[in-house]
A and B are shown apart, each in its own frame.
Chain A
Amino acid sequence: MEKNEKQRNRSLSKLPLDLIGSILSRLPVKCLLQLKCVCRAWHDLISNPKFAKYRLKHFIIQEKLMLMEHFLYPVQYDGLNSVVEELDYPVTPSSVYVFFNIVGSCNGLLLINPKNDALVLWNPSTREARELPKSPIEFPTRSRKCLSTVYGFGYDSFADDYKLVRVVTFATERFETEVKLYSLGTNSWKRIEDFPYSVPNKSDGILVNGALHWLVYLENDLVCPYFVSYLDLAEEKYGWLELPDYESGQSFCDIGVLGGCLHMYRYVSDIIFEVWSMREYGTTESWTKFSIIVPHMTGLENFVHVKPLCLTEKGQIILRVGRKKLVMYNPKEELFRYLRSHGLSENSVVGTYVESLVLPYNFDVPGGQYHAEW
């Protein structure tokens, strides 16, 4: 066996760093944070943003839920079992009744809106947080009143940069807007072209295909009053997408993202919830529908609020039903299962995120002490 030992010793010293990198990128974040201790080379390897990027690109990472109220609860569902932790807020709320909201989630970074104009970028897996610089609102001459403020957060793959968008709509006759873009790379805000369509509905931008999407409501079109507007993060230009041709009538619409595809949700009746999936981004014909019959949930009156959250590894959908319940829906078998939801209350805010090593700040800012090459 002496020969094998010699062979082994030779091969050990030969294992190049990039090969070690492709082995390590398969490990969960917590494990990687421990392994930073192994030696300086490994510390630099794991801390390098390129490693974080490589890991995101090559390995499918399961989405986790973040339940937010008094504490933060990252939840991972594995079948029906859930693994829940309890975390403290990265930013201490100055008042217990301050309204927290998750306004964006991308590549493991969560954008939290703790107070009216404050924004915090947080990576729950590495527990690094950073408060973003504020930007004043440029009011138009005729009004100082805001009708709504919505945000969007996403990744621009062309510039390798994370961008945040703030759309403020003013209470003027023609609903003027102010749209500002923040870039993580330059750590600065700038104003871009105003939102060209009418008021985006009050939810934050849905990130699909490198663009942020909002549902826009056209009052004068009764047949099909909704369409989807988007802001392409790379080109910083607007566009729009058509919604599927659904039966008209009173219905409430919403859009979301599941498994990387744009989805539209429509409440047809008390028990039928329609889900449309845009299989091929940009092609109106590719909208495919499947309906979910929502079983009668005891203790809930009138209409049930249903919000799909994410897809599991096995293609099941996790939904939030009626604010207090989490349900897993199997589209193939059309089965619903209740999930244990520790920490979920009526006032909880639920977001989804993936585990990653992405930093909430720019690596090259002064003060960064690493210089890894990989």
Chain B
Amino acid sequence: MSNTSENPNPSSSSAKMTLKTSDNELFEVEEAVAMKFCTVKQYFEDEKDSDVAARGSTTVIPLPNVHSAVLTMLISYGKKLPQSNAVADNHEEEETKKKERKKYEQGLLKNLMPGELLDLISAANYLDFKEGLEFFNQALADHIQNKSVEYVRKFFGIKNDYEPHEEEKYREEYAWAFEGIECWLIGELKQFMAKTKTLDIAGTLLGIKPALIVASFSVRGLNSLDSNILKPEMIAPGENILAAWINAIGPTGLDSNT
């Protein structure tokens, strides 16, 4: 898949540069955007010194450490940044552009898988793309802020090299840092803010013995009202579950319920 970047101002003559990714994809990028990647800028300037005749459009700059999927995202982020060669906008235009960029950034982060963030950061670091690095670093920091130590380890692929008793000792000493804090929000409402837990989806587990049995009083078959519904949509283990009910009528409809 060869990607040609769109030129938003077809009338202006902007020089283009060709970048080649690790998977041999070629990207034609406007010089203004490509120059934000300082590694590329440096390469280009070195090339310029050595070869007087050649301009960016004929040189192909290799980026062996960057994958095409990652470069696509970095280029589109780079395009949204204020261009250094653009005509200075008046205050209103600047504000509109800023809002657009914020919206774009939010959209970008929503669709991003956390693992992709690491790739983006690694690539932005290699390319020395300062604005991109700043943005993605902040996004990653926001992502891990309320996560547990175990999650962070798994996310970065870090092996815990502490002995269990050492880690235990540290956690005990700094128990207050691991706890939720007691706080007074506006008004005298006292709330305990719980530590955030993350649930990892385990997936389908096979071979569990003994197999779980549906309790005798639970629904398991056709819905009496709509026979198109063949089985319950959700089922969970447990008996004698306490649940809330309104005062008017108890859970079984019997008078003996209190």
A: residues with CB less than 8 A from B are 3-4, 7-9, 11-16, 19-20, 22-24, 26-28, 30-31, 33-42, 80-86, 127, 340, 342
Contacts and interface: CB of A to CB of B under 8 A. Distances in A.
Given A19-B125, A82-B184, A83-B183, A38 B152 contact: yes
B186 A12 contact: no
A85 B181 contact: yes
B178 A34 contact: yes
Chain B: interface residue count, which band?
35 or more
A247 to B, nearest CB: 37
Query: A11, A28, A82 — which one has the most chain B CB atoms within 10 A of its CB?
Result: A11
Given A19-B137, A83-B183, A85-B181, 18 more contacts: A8-B115, A8-B119, A9-B157, A11-B118, A11-B122, A12-B157, A15-B118, A23-B121, A26-B137, A26-B141, A27-B144, A27-B145, A30-B177, A31-B146, A34-B178, A37-B171, A39-B159, A41-B158
B159 to A, nearest CB: 7
In order of increasing CB-CB distance, the 9 nearest A-B pairs are: A26-B141, A33-B177, A11-B122, A12-B157, A84-B184, A37-B149, A83-B183, A23-B137, A342-B184
A39 B157 CA distance: 11
A15 B138 contact: no
Nearest to B152: A38
Interface in B133-189: 137-138, 140-142, 144-146, 149, 152-153, 156-162, 167, 170-171, 174, 176-178, 181-188
B186 A340 contact: yes
Nearest to A11: B122
16 contacts: A7-B67, A8-B115, A15-B121, A15-B156, A19-B125, A23-B140, A34-B174, A36-B174, A38-B149, A38-B156, A39-B161, A40-B161, A83-B185, A84-B184, A86-B182, A342-B184
Nearest to A127: B176
Nearest to B124: A19
A14 B182 CA distance: 40
B45 interface: no
Contacts of B167: 37
Contacts of B182: 85-86
Contacts of A83: 181, 183-185
A39 B152 CA distance: 11
Nearest to A85: B181
B100 interface: no
B189 to A, nearest CB: 11
Contacts of B184: 82-84, 340, 342
Contacts of A3: 23, 67
B222 interface: no
A85 B67 contact: no
Contact of B162 (A9, A39, A84): A39
B78 to A, nearest CB: 19
A4 B69 contact: yes
A281 B186 CA distance: 38
Contacts of B177: 30, 33-34
A36 B230 CA distance: 52
A38 B160 contact: yes
A22 B137 contact: yes
B149 A33 contact: no
Contacts of A86: 182
A12 B153 contact: no
Interface string B22-62: 11000000000000000000000000000000000000000
Contacts of A27: 141, 144-145
Contacts of B141: 23-24, 26-27
Nearest to A81: B186
A81 B191 CA distance: 14
Contacts of A19: 121-122, 125, 137
Interface string B55-85: 0000000000001011000000000000000
Contacts of A34: 149, 174, 177-178
A82 B171 CA distance: 28
A339 to B, nearest CB: 9
Contact of A15 (B122, B144, B171, B176): B122
Given A15-B121, A19-B121, A33-B174, A82 B157 contact: no
Contacts of A20: 156
Contacts of B69: 4
A23 B184 CA distance: 30
Contacts of A127: 176
Contacts of A85: 181-183
A28 B145 contact: yes
Interface centre among A4, A19, A23, A83 (most CB of B within 10 A): A23
Contact of A36 (B170, B186, B187): B170
Contacts of A35: 149, 152
Contacts of A13: 157
B118 to A, nearest CB: 6
A13 B177 CA distance: 29
Nearest to B134: A22
A155 B188 CA distance: 38
